[in-house]
Amino acid sequence: MTYAKVIVDVPSKETNRPYDYVIPPKLSGWVEIGSRVGVPFGPRILQGFVVGLHQEAEVDAARIKPIAEVSDSEPPLTPELVKLSRWMSKTYLCHDITALQAMIPGALKAKYERYIQAAEGVTSPQSAVEHGVFAGGEMTGNGQGILFESETLERESILRYVIAKGPVKTEQLLLKFEGQATLIKQMLLSGQLTEAQVIKDRLSQKKVLTVYPNENKNEIRAYLDKLPANAKRQKDVLDYLLLHHEPVKLADLLAELDLSASTVKSLAEKGMLIIREADEFRNPYEGRDFTPTLPMLLTPQQQIAYDAIRQDLDDRIHRTYLLQGVTGSGKTEVYLQTIQRTLDAGREAIVLVPEISLTPQMVERFKGRFGDQVAVLHSRLSQGERYDEWRKIRAGQVTVAIGARSAIFAPFTKIGLIIIDEEHESSYKQEESPKYHAKRVAIERACAHDAVVVLGSATPSLETFYQTKSDLHGVPVRLSGGEPAIRLITMSERVAGRPMPEVKIVDLREELKAGNRSMFSRELYSAIETRLHKKEQTVLLLNRRGYSTFVMCRSCGFVAGCPHCDISLTYHQRSRNLRCHYCGYAEREPEVCPDCKSEHIRFFGTGTQKVEEELGKLFPGIRVIRMDVDTTTEKGSHEKWLTQFRNKEADVLLGTQMVAKGLDFPDVTLVGVIAADTVLNLPDFRAGEKTFQLLTQVAGRAGRHHLPGEVVIQSYSPEHYSIEHASRHDYDSFVMQELGMRKERGYPPYCRLILITMSHEHIPVLVQIGEALANTLRERAGAAREGEPSFEVMGPVASPIPRIKDRYRFQCMVKYREESAAIEAVKAVLASFESRVKPHKIQISVDVDPQILM
């Protein structure tokens, strides 16, 4: 007998282990490591993943149940991914099933459907009596059939319906017999009806009728010879079949030969061809031509980068590179050529790009070079399209996968190269469980494949930069010593010697003093005016984070806040209401201040809509494209705006972070930042780093081609070092200053963090459990090592957002260096608190290497 170890789809501590199942003979050969299966679990059938196969049962073999079904003809996960899921659940303290589910496309996530049918043997209401499933007294015989009393009549009609229909979806039955939910429940309890659960994929594959020519061409020729001369249509089809070996969509064949389906059907009956439903891969880029591109002659700096990476690819050595190249230095061309080298060696490549940079323009650069070899995975595709792209990867029909964070799980089996563009982006960290960082996952996968990782950025994250050094500020980077974990390659010049744009900083406080109350300084105003005259284009960035449009009363200072969360509400112009971004609470815009009844309640703060309005006032007739969450929700809208801007149908592209990334427009000569300090005021130790990165990225959009660029940054704190260094394009000075401060304050990259957030409806309960948890962790930290504790525990303190959805929030922070006992300790302590936490319904979440500390 062969047994399978299965992780079942129940994300809970109690079930977070593999369960043994027998592989029944009918399924032998189908169940592999990585297979998705349906298994009996208690009274239900649940979805699960096979994570191991073995010959001996570990528990009493007679008690082991068989696997009920296998969901796919080919396992969706490879053994390597199954192993990776173990690593993920250990590293990020999540359930195994949560890690496994993160690796498959949404379309494959189980949807459980419940069906109701009549109890076994019940074929009519009478037989229900015979089977004793109707309790006595509910029916009375009068010799002419069965008399039902009022409620019993309802029962009869439900039963008749179910018997006639066979299994009916529970929700449909409830809909059909509205108001009878309680009765149906009773019938289930008394055994008249039974309910079964079936696992369904969220999405079925798209099937199309496809014509498969008979492979024996002689048979076709023989049949053709016997055909009467007037059977022209049949002849056309047969000629076609003789010429083509590949299957063809029925619809395409009919269109091409201009005939009806009956002709083809009659030939199918004669055995000349087979018509079958086949999978169709939806192609989201169908009908679009990608201009093929050839490799460019590399600049000397590109050549150095390429040569280093190529060497490791050729030697099949696992290594991680940081490709630090200023904006416009041509990092993409280095990616393209190293990918080509990877493909030439018969291996595969994964390219990660932040979701908002994954524009058609970006995809085009890869499709242009590698054509059909490229699969694209991103959230703007429909679930079906995503699934099809994923299947192409799994089936080995493509060799390059490009996508956002989760594309790191592309089920390739021969990975040679993983590229992470804009590696500093915090969106590579998933904020919900499993709270993984794609960068670490990439390195883990690359290690398993002896593959190379290239992290690219003009503004590398401090964590990554730090790892390219052996020591910094007198602290060794690796406790264990040895070579730096990441190799640095620098490209300091733009392609073709183009200059970096000139950056001017404007002090908004001075503007106010000079009597300018507009959100545009005189400097920025005249710069825009100049572009309008010269018919050049402008990009304007409004950083939305921390600057959203909250509502404030100018008379009494009242700020509209969410009644369930300690956070201000955001004004949405389109729906004219105020919304909470954390819990979805919404209310109508107020006409007077709820506190002092003043009418001077105004929409405060600067939203993109307001900037757009003001632009219209200052420059009558100006053509503005606004890109923010409100204007880009529709599918394809992102692309539409960018194409319009590229075609010079607008003078200004105004937007949030979306406009800062990866855009490459030849006629953009001015970039304006409305207020640079909006991120600086957030309670986040990375605020300075984020500001520097954003300003550098957005400034990098100007003057990328023949026309020189200019950048105007407006700020209320122009002396801030992040802003100053960004204005001089000086990453090195910025990074040294920032690292010095991080060291002083004991923040990453000089240590690593684990954030533990607890929430509950009552503060006293939270304080008590928080203190106890922190103390237990501290005891462990002290006990773990003589002298210096292996980790430090800070807190508990109230979280920066102290309440969400009526639950108060407290947090503890664990600080440690390198891999240490800290994760194990957190895990053990949480497990030991389980019995105290559960009855109180305290929620605890753990975030390893958190990016957001809210």
Q: What is the DSSP letter of 429?
A: B
198 touches which of ligand ATP, Zn ion, none (CB within 5 to 8 A by kind)? none
Q: How far is the CB of 724 from ligand ATP (least distance, A)?
A: 21
* CA 277 to the chain's CA centroid: 32
Question: What pairing do the DSSP bridges indicate for beta strands 577-579 and 752-760?
Answer: unpaired
Q: How far is the CB of 699 from ligand ATP (least distance, A)?
A: 10
Rounded to 5 degrees, what angle do the CA atoms 790, 791, 792 make?
140
812 touches which of ligand ATP, Zn ion, none (CB within 5 to 8 A by kind)? none
Residues ≥6 apart with Cβ < 8 Å to 136: none
Residues ≥6 apart with Cβ < 8 Å to 577: 571, 586, 587, 588, 589
- Structure tokens given for 281: 């891969």
Please say which residue, 394 or 572, places its beta carbon nearer to Zn ion: 572
224 touches which of ligand ATP, Zn ion, none (CB within 5 to 8 A by kind)? none
Which residue's entry shows tokens 């060291």?
A: 743
* Cα separation, 796 vs 827, whole angstroms: 17
Helix, strand, coil fractions of the chain, as percent rounded to 5: 35, 25, 40
Stretch that binds Zn ion, among 414-422, 469-477, 559-567, 652-660 (CB under 5 A): 559-567
Q: Which residue from 19, 87, 558, 833 is in contact with Zn ion, where contact means CB under 5 A? A: 558
664 touches which of Zn ion, ligand ATP, none (CB within 5 to 8 A by kind)? ligand ATP
Q: How far is the CB of 763 from Zn ion (least distance, A)?
A: 18
* Cα separation, 55 vs 75, whole angstroms: 20
ω into 749 cis (within 30 of 0): yes
Q: How far is the CB of 578 from Zn ion (least distance, A)?
A: 11
565 binds Zn ion (CB under 5 A): yes
280: three-class secondary structure by DSSP: coil
Please say which residue, 326 or 758, places its beta carbon nearer to ligand ATP: 326
605 touches which of ligand ATP, Zn ion, none (CB within 5 to 8 A by kind)? none
- Structure tokens given for 796: 């508990």
Question: What pairing do the DSSP bridges indicate for beta strands 791-804 and 807-816?
Answer: antiparallel
Q: Binding residue per annotation — 583?
A: yes
596 touches which of ligand ATP, Zn ion, none (CB within 5 to 8 A by kind)? Zn ion
User: Do 685 and 719 meet the contact criterion of CB atoms below 8 Å apart?
Assistant: no
For 204-353, strand residue ranges (E) read 207-213, 248-249, 273-279, 319-325, 348-352
Site size with Zn ion, rule: CB under 5 A: 15
* Positions that interact with ligand ATP (CB under 6 A): 296-299, 302, 325, 327-333, 458, 495, 662, 664, 700, 704
Please say which residue, 220 or 569, places its beta carbon nearer to Zn ion: 569
741 touches which of ligand ATP, Zn ion, none (CB within 5 to 8 A by kind)? none
Please say which residue, 357 or 521, places its beta carbon nearer to ligand ATP: 357
Q: How far is the CB of 336 from ligand ATP (least distance, A)?
A: 9
Q: How far is the CB of 306 from ligand ATP (least distance, A)?
A: 10
Q: How far is the CB of 705 from ligand ATP (least distance, A)?
A: 7
* Cα separation, 279 vs 269, whole angstroms: 23
Q: How far is the CB of 604 from Zn ion (least distance, A)?
A: 12
What number of H helices and E strands is found in the chain? 25, 37
What is the C-alpha radius of gyration for the chain, rounded to an integer number of angstroms? 32
Please say which residue, 360 or 700, places its beta carbon nearer to ligand ATP: 700
Question: What pairing do the DSSP bridges indicate for beta strands 3-8 and 19-22?
Answer: antiparallel
User: Do 789 and 729 meet the contact criterion of CB atoms below 8 Å apart?
Assistant: no
Q: Binding residue per annotation — 751?
A: no
Please say which residue, 255 or 556, places its beta carbon nearer to Zn ion: 556
Please say which residue, 617 or 706, places its beta carbon nearer to ligand ATP: 706
User: Do 67 and 37 meet the contact criterion of CB atoms below 8 Å apart?
Assistant: yes
Please say which residue, 305 or 505, places its beta carbon nearer to ligand ATP: 305
332 touches which of ligand ATP, Zn ion, none (CB within 5 to 8 A by kind)? ligand ATP
662 touches which of ligand ATP, Zn ion, none (CB within 5 to 8 A by kind)? ligand ATP
566 binds Zn ion (CB under 5 A): no
Q: Binding residue per annotation — 593?
A: yes
Residue 142 CA: distances (Å) to CA of 50, 139, 145, 146, 701 = 58, 10, 6, 7, 88
* Cα separation, 299 vs 281, whole angstroms: 39
- Structure tokens given for 75: 């396992």
406 touches which of Zn ion, ligand ATP, none (CB within 5 to 8 A by kind)? none
Q: Which residue from 562, 652, 653, 814 is in contact with Zn ion, where contact means CB under 5 A? A: 562
* Cα separation, 497 vs 300, whole angstroms: 12
* Cα separation, 568 vs 581, whole angstroms: 9
Q: Binding residue per annotation — 447?
A: no
User: Do 655 and 701 meet the contact criterion of CB atoms below 8 Å apart?
Assistant: no
Burial class (CB in 10 A: 0-12, 13-18, 19+), 137: exposed
Q: How far is the CB of 596 from Zn ion (least distance, A)?
A: 3
Please say which residue, 330 or 795, places its beta carbon nearer to ligand ATP: 330
Stretch that binds Zn ion, among 41-49, 563-571, 610-618, 674-682 (CB under 5 A): 563-571
Please say which residue, 281 or 582, places its beta carbon nearer to Zn ion: 582
Neighbours of 2 (CB within 10 A): 15
- Find, among 755, 764, 757, 766, the residue nearest to 841 by Cα: 766
556 touches which of ligand ATP, Zn ion, none (CB within 5 to 8 A by kind)? Zn ion
Q: Binding residue per annotation — 553?
A: yes
Strand pairing partners for 204? Answer: none
Please say which residue, 9 or 422, places its beta carbon nearer to ligand ATP: 422
Q: What is the per-residue binding string for Zn ion in 571-610, x denoting contact by CB under 5 A?
A: ---------x-xx-x-------x-xx-x------------
Q: How far is the CB of 432 from Zn ion (least distance, A)?
A: 17
Please say which residue, 601 or 624, places its beta carbon nearer to Zn ion: 601
ω into 764 cis (within 30 of 0): no
Q: How far is the CB of 426 from ligand ATP (least distance, A)?
A: 17
Q: How far is the CB of 691 from ligand ATP (least distance, A)?
A: 18
Residue 750 CA: distances (Å) to CA of 664, 747, 754 = 36, 6, 14
* Cα separation, 467 vs 599, whole angstroms: 56
299 touches which of Zn ion, ligand ATP, none (CB within 5 to 8 A by kind)? ligand ATP
Q: How far is the CB of 709 from ligand ATP (least distance, A)?
A: 12
Please say which residue, 38 or 703, places its beta carbon nearer to ligand ATP: 703
193 touches which of ligand ATP, Zn ion, none (CB within 5 to 8 A by kind)? none
Neighbours of 152 (CB within 10 A): 16
502 touches which of ligand ATP, Zn ion, none (CB within 5 to 8 A by kind)? none
Q: How far is the CB of 33 from ligand ATP (least distance, A)?
A: 39
User: How many residues belong to the chain?
Assistant: 854
Q: Binding residue per annotation — 812?
A: no
* Cα separation, 223 vs 348, whole angstroms: 46
552 binds Zn ion (CB under 5 A): no
User: Do 756 and 773 meet the contact criterion of CB atoms below 8 Å apart?
Assistant: yes
Please say which residue, 48 or 700, places its beta carbon nearer to ligand ATP: 700
- Structure tokens given for 345: 């060696």
Annotated binding site for Zn(2+): 553, 556, 562, 565, 580, 583, 593, 596
The contact set with Zn ion (CB under 5 A) reads 553, 555-556, 558, 562, 564-565, 580, 582-583, 585, 593, 595-596, 598
Binding residues: 553, 556, 562, 565, 580, 583, 593, 596
